[in-house]
């Protein structure tokens, strides 16, 4: 089936594709036309993959994952265009303050928490100079780039020009972090025993 026929089938409000989008969007059904538009653009840009998936019988999986990624990812085009409106961007700071006040945190406590987290990050960076966990090179590199250089995982992906995806960078970093913390504990225990 050609991509135009697939897109026509998806756009039919009586199709199973419409039900899938409703289930993913619930209760925000008013965003369905925008989601349909974004998924159609994504499918059209990957028309060979979409046609192959339809022919081989795994198109439903592809369609569900595309819709879910568009709706749930904070970096998707659907999120940037439809969910994150101008007013929410301007009110994000005030909403955060209200949430903290409602959860029992005052602004001062929040500032103390942020200061404590930056202090912990400074301690970790200092410890990185003296602690060498037994890791693969790529795990050490993720720890150095994330903690040492302060790069986000998306920036690490662009640093390596897409050779390492941001999700893989995160997984490698978590492995490094576990080994690093274990090594810190081991050294702390050795120091306490002396």
pTM: 0.43
Same domain, 69 and 139: no
Q: How confident is the model at residue 194 (pLDDT cuts 50, 70, 90)?
A: low
Residue 91 lies in a domain: no
**Eight-state DSSP code of residue 146:** I
- The C-alpha atoms of residue 45 and residue 38 are separated, in whole angstroms, by 11
Same domain, 10 and 75: yes
Evaluate whether 118 touches 155 at the Cβ level (below 8 Å). no
Final residue in a domain of this structure, among 25, 49, 84: 84
Evaluate whether 9 touches 15 at the Cβ level (below 8 Å). yes
CA distances from 4 to 15, 28, 98, 167 (A): 16, 27, 47, 32
Cβ neighbours of 186 (radius 10 Å): 12
In this prediction, residue 126 carries a pLDDT of: 64
Q: How confident is the model at residue 106 (pLDDT cuts 50, 70, 90)?
A: very low
Same domain, 8 and 76: yes
Same domain, 77 and 138: no
Residue 72 lies in a domain: yes
Condensed to tens digits (0 to 9), the pLDDT of residues 30-45 reads 888 888 888 888 888 8
- Split into its structural domains, the chain has a count of 2
**What residues make up the domain containing 55?**
3-84
Mean pLDDT for 73-92 is: 62
Residue pointed to by tokens 């301007």:
90
Final residue in a domain of this structure, among 61, 84, 107: 84
- The C-alpha atoms of residue 22 and residue 32 are separated, in whole angstroms, by 7
- The C-alpha atoms of residue 132 and residue 177 are separated, in whole angstroms, by 11
């Amino acid at each position: 089936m050609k991509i135009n026929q697939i897109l026509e089938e998806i756009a039919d409000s009586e199709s199973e594709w419409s039900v899938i989008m409703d289930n993913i969007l619930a209760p925000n059904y008013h965003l369905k036309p925008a989601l349909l538009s974004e998924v159609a653009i994504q499918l059209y840009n990957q028309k060979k993959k979409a046609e192959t998936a339809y022919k081989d019988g795994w198109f439903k999986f592809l369609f569900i994952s595309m819709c879910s990624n568009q709706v749930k990812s904070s970096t998707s085009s659907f999120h940037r265009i439809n969910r994150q409106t101008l007013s929410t961007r301007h009110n994000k700071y005030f909403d955060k303050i209200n949430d903290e006040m409602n959860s029992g945190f005052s602004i001062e406590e929040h500032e103390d928490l942020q200061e404590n987290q930056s202090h912990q990050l400074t301690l970790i960076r200092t410890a990185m100079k003296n602690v060498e966990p037994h890791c693969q090179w790529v795990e050490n590199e993720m720890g150095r780039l994330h903690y040492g250089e302060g790069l986000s995982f998306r920036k690490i992906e662009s640093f390596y020009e897409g050779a390492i995806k941001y999700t893989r960078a995160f997984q490698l970093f978590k492995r490094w972090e576990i080994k690093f913390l274990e090594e810190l504990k081991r050294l702390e225990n050795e120091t306490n025993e002396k």
